[in-house]
Amino acid sequence: MTLPTTRVSFPGGAVAGESTVLAVHQLGHGRYGVVTADTPFHPLDHTWPDQPADTGTLTVAGAELAVVDCLTAAVGPEDGEHGELLVGADIPVRRGDEAWSWLVLHVVEEQPAELVPGAPVALAVDAERRAALSAAHTGCHLLALALNEALAERWRKDPGRADAFGNPDFDSLAMASSVMDTEASTDTYRLGKSLRKKGFTTDAADGLPTLADALPAITAAVNERLAGWVAADAPVRIEVPGPELTARRNWHCELPAGSARIACGGTHLHRLGQLSALETELTLSEDGSELIAVTRPKRV
């Protein structure tokens, strides 16, 4: 099977488009995966599944089908052992391997006779759900920057990685998982031996209280910073080097302190003024080994 990597328009905020069916793949349990040449749908990433898949509709020959899920699929080299279409966790390589084709798989629960390769289709994303997920994803990146700033004084040495504003990049160094839904983003950070070796301390030292004792003040500082950024109505854009699903995209936000940049393959707001508020809640796990941030955006 030879298929080209899917061209995507979701990085620019598109929620509708037209394309041509390239393949229909049986997924089992009465579901079918439809591959098109182009799509506005954002699929669940198989290596870092932080932002949920878009849902919506696919219309073929006047028949509107519900797209109930959207997955990442891939096809390996024809002369190799993975020459057939593989989906999600079955893909044995990281996204972007240049020897593979990378596909957006629109999951539908029926296959009318007209849904065949070569058929023209109209694709429409659930725009309200997309907007909520985009708000959560933008909030997640802003939380990362504000948290890095609030925790900067807890580093005893330079960990060798800084964010866009020069603060030690706690977010990327400690990140265990990041998950978004339509209400919030939940980021879980490991506070273990590896982070301590890099120089981060949760203990009382050099006039600092323990992280547990400092958490209310840290939370307040983060939320104050987030509120200021929202009030500034900073513009947000995605740097898109190419239309392919695998293009290495970057999130940019022109914050008052300067331009922030974070590698990202998801969807986002266009301006922070699309939010009326953005607040996070920070908690420690019972054993103190994890810091959890739940960040909730409120849209205008």
**DSSP letter, residue 155:** B
Q: Residue 119 belongs to what H/E stretch?
A: none
Cα distances (angstroms) measured from residue 108 to each of 20, 29, 67, 160, 273 = 16, 11, 5, 46, 35
Cα distances (angstroms) measured from residue 155 to each of 141, 168, 205, 214, 236 = 21, 8, 11, 14, 30
- DSSP bridge partners of 63: 60
How confident is the model at residue 83, as a pLDDT?
67
pLDDT digits (tens, 9 = 90+) for 243-270: 999 999 999 999 999 999 999 999 999 9
Residues whose CB is less than 8 angstroms from the CB of residue 251 and which lie 6 or more positions away in sequence, other chains included:
138, 141, 236, 238, 239, 260, 261, 262, 263, 264, 266, 268
Residue position matching structure tokens 């006039």: 207
Task: Return the exposure string of 231-240: e unless at least 16 CB atoms fall within 10 Å of the residue's CB, then b.
Answer: ebebebbbee
How confident is the model at residue 286, as a pLDDT?
96
235 touches 138 (CB < 8 A): no
Give the CA radius of gyration of the chain.
Answer: 21
How many CB atoms within 10 Å of residue 172? 15
> Model's pTM, two decimal places?
0.96
Residues whose CB is less than 8 angstroms from the CB of residue 178 and which lie 6 or more positions away in sequence, other chains included:
48, 50, 140, 185, 186, 187, 188
pLDDT digits (tens, 9 = 90+) for 39-94: 999 999 999 999 999 999 999 999 999 999 999 999 998 755 556 899 999 999 98
Q: Which of 194-200's residues contact partners 24+ apart within 8 Å by CB, and which partners?
A: 198/157, 198/159, 198/160, 198/173, 199/155, 199/156, 199/157, 199/158, 199/159, 199/168, 200/151, 200/154, 200/155, 200/156, 200/159, 200/168, 200/170, 200/173, 200/174
How confident is the model at residue 94, as a pLDDT?
86
How confident is the model at residue 57, as a pLDDT?
99
In angstroms, the CA 39 to CA 19 distance is 7
Which domains, from first to last, does the chain contain? 7-125 (2.40.30.130), 129-299 (3.30.980.10)
Q: What would the two tokens of residue 80 be?
A: 């190799």
Intervals of the chain under pLDDT 70:
1, 79-83
